[in-house]
C-alpha cells in the first residue's frame, strides 16, 4: 500500500509514539489530581506539551486550551463566542469552502436565531476581501475563515482578513487544522483571535486538539460548551487525555524543528507527481490556487473519468476524492462546487496529500498507476463527454 491521504490523517511519527509511552505505562495519573506524585507528574507533562504547542504557533502557553480535536475546537470557538458576545451582536461570517465543523456549527447557531453570512470564493478558493468588508455590520461578532483548505490546499490571506476585522472591532477565528505543522504560523503576525488545530494532521495521535484563545489585545471571552469540573480555566471541562497531549507536544516540537525540510520534501514530490501525471495523460486540470497552497496537496480533475472508478482501479493506493469527514456523502464536494466546478467535474477530482514519510519511488509508482488506470477507463467509456 502507498499512503497519499495525509490530509485525512498522518502516520504517527515513531518518535511521537515513543514520547507517549511513559504516560501510558508509569506516569498514568490524572493531571487534575493535585495530592500525589502521579498527578503532579501528569500535570507537568501536560504543561510541557502546552509550551511546545504554543511555541509552534507563537502563542503564550496560557492561550492553549486542550480539546478532543479540531472539530471540538471549531465548535467551542463559534458557539462559545456567539454566546459570550450575545449582548454585542448576533451575526457571524464564514466562507463556503470551510470544513463542515465550521459550516455545521454556523448552521446550528442559525437555527438558534443567529444570523450567518456564508461568503462565496473565487475559482481558486479565495475569499473576496471586498465581499467580506461589505458583509460586516455593527452586529457582527465573529469572522471564521480557514488558513488552508483541506481539499485543494489553497491558503487564505489571513493577515489581510484580520486587519479588516480589527478595523471593525470583530473577533477573527481560523480553522488552521491543515496548515499548522506544514507552513509557518504565527498568531501575532496573522492577528488571529482564535485558532483551531489538531495533533493527528501533524504526525501526532488522534483524539487530541487545541484551541488558541487570545489573552490580550483583545482578551477573548468564551462560554464553555461542556460543563463539568472547570478544567482548562473553565473553558473546557473533562479529564485531560495526558498521553495524547504529550504526543501532541512531541509532534509540535518535531514540526517546529523539521517543518522547512518537510515542506521542501513534500513540495518537490507533489510537483513531481503532478508532472508525472500531466506528461502521460491529457485532460488533467488543477483544482485550487497554483502557487498559494500547501506544499503537500495536489487536487486534480480528470476529464471523462469518475474519481471513484479511478480509486477502485488502484486499490493499492490510499487516496481521497474529498474530505474524510464527508466521504460517506453521495453529494459532490461542497468545496469544489464552491470553486465553480460542475457536479461532473467535482466527481472527476482526486486529492493527493503527501507527507513526511512519502518517498520518490512511491510517487513515481502512483503517477504510473494513475495514468494507466485513467487511460483504461477512458477506453472503456462508450463515448467521451467533456467534463473538464
At 17, give phi and psi (nearest 5°): -60, -45
Angle at 224 between CA 218 and CA 229, to 5 degrees: 125
Residues in the chain, how many?
A: 388
Query: Is 165 an active-site residue?
Result: no
- Spot the catalytic one: 165, 255, 267, 325: 325
Within a 13 Å sphere around the CA of 237, how many CA atoms are in the beta-carbon half? 9
C-alpha dihedral over 106, 107, 110, 115, to 10 degrees?
50
Pairing mode of beta strands 209-213, 171-175: unpaired
Within a 13 Å sphere around the CA of 350, how many CA atoms are in the beta-carbon half? 27
CA-wise closest residue to 353 among 295, 271, 301, 297: 297
Residues with active-site annotation:
325
Amino acid at each position: 500500500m502507498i499512503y497519499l491521504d495525509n490530509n485525512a490523517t498522518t502516520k504517527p511519527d515513531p518518535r511521537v509514539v515513543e514520547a507517549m509511552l511513559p504516560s501510558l505505562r508509569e506516569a498514568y495519573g490524572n493531571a487534575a489530581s493535585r495530592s500525589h506524585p502521579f498527578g503532579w507528574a501528569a500535570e507537568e507533562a501536560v504543561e510541557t506539551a502546552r509550551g511546545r504547542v504554543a511555541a509552534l504557533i507563537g502563542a503564550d502557553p496560557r492561550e492553549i486550551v486542550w480539546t478532543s480535536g479540531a472539530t471540538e475546537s471549531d465548535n467551542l470557538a463559534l458557539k462559545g463566542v456567539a454566546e459570550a458576545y450575545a449582548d454585542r451582536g448576533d451575526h457571524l461570517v464564514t466562507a463556503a469552502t470551510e470544513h463542515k465543523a465550521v459550516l455545521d456549527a454556523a448552521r446550528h447557531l442559525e437555527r438558534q436565531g443567529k444570523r450567518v453570512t456564508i461568503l462565496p470564493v473565487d475559482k481558486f478558493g479565495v475569499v473576496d476581501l471586498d465581499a467580506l468588508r461589505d458583509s460586516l455590520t455593527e452586529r457582527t461578532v465573529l469572522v471564521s475563515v480557514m488558513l488552508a483548505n483541506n481539499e485543494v490546499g489553497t491558503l487564505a490571506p489571513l493577515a489581510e482578513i484580520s486587519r479588516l476585522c480589527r478595523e471593525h472591532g470583530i473577533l477573527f477565528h481560523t480553522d488552521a487544522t491543515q496548515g499548522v505543522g506544514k507552513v509557518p504560523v504565527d498568531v501575532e503576525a496573522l492577528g488571529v483571535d482564535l485558532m483551531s488545530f489538531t495533533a493527528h494532521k501533524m504526525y501526532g495521535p488522534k483524539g487530541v486538539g487545541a484551541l488558541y484563545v487570545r489573552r490580550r489585545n483583545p482578551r477573548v471571552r468564551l462560554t464553555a460548551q461542556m460543563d463539568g469540573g472547570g478544567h482548562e480555566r473553565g473553558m473546557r471541562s473533562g479529564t485531560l487525555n495526558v498521553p495524547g497531549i504529550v504526543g501532541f507536544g512531541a509532534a509540535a516540537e518535531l514540526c517546529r524543528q523539521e517543518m522547512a525540510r518537510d515542506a521542501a520534501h513534500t513540495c518537490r514530490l507533489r510537483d513531481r507527481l503532478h508532472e508525472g501525471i500531466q506528461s502521460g495523460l491529457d485532460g488533467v486540470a488543477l483544482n485550487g490556487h497554483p502557487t498559494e497552497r500547501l506544499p503537500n496537496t495536489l487536487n486534480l480533475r480528470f476529464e471523462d473519468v469518475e474519481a471513484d472508478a479511478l480509486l477502485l482501479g488502484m486499490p493499492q493506493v490510499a487516496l481521497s476524492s474529498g474530505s474524510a469527514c464527508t466521504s460517506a456523502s453521495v453529494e459532490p464536494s461542497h468545496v469544489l462546487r464552491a470553486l465553480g466546478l460542475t457536479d461532473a467535474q467535482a466527481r472527476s477530482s482526486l486529492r493527493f496529500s503527501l507527507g513526511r514519510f512519502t518517498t520518490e519511488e512511491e510517487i513515481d509508482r502512483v503517477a504510473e498507476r494513475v495514468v494507466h488506470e485513467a487511460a483504461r477507463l477512458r477506453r472503456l467509456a462508450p463515448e467521451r463527454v467533456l467534463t473538464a
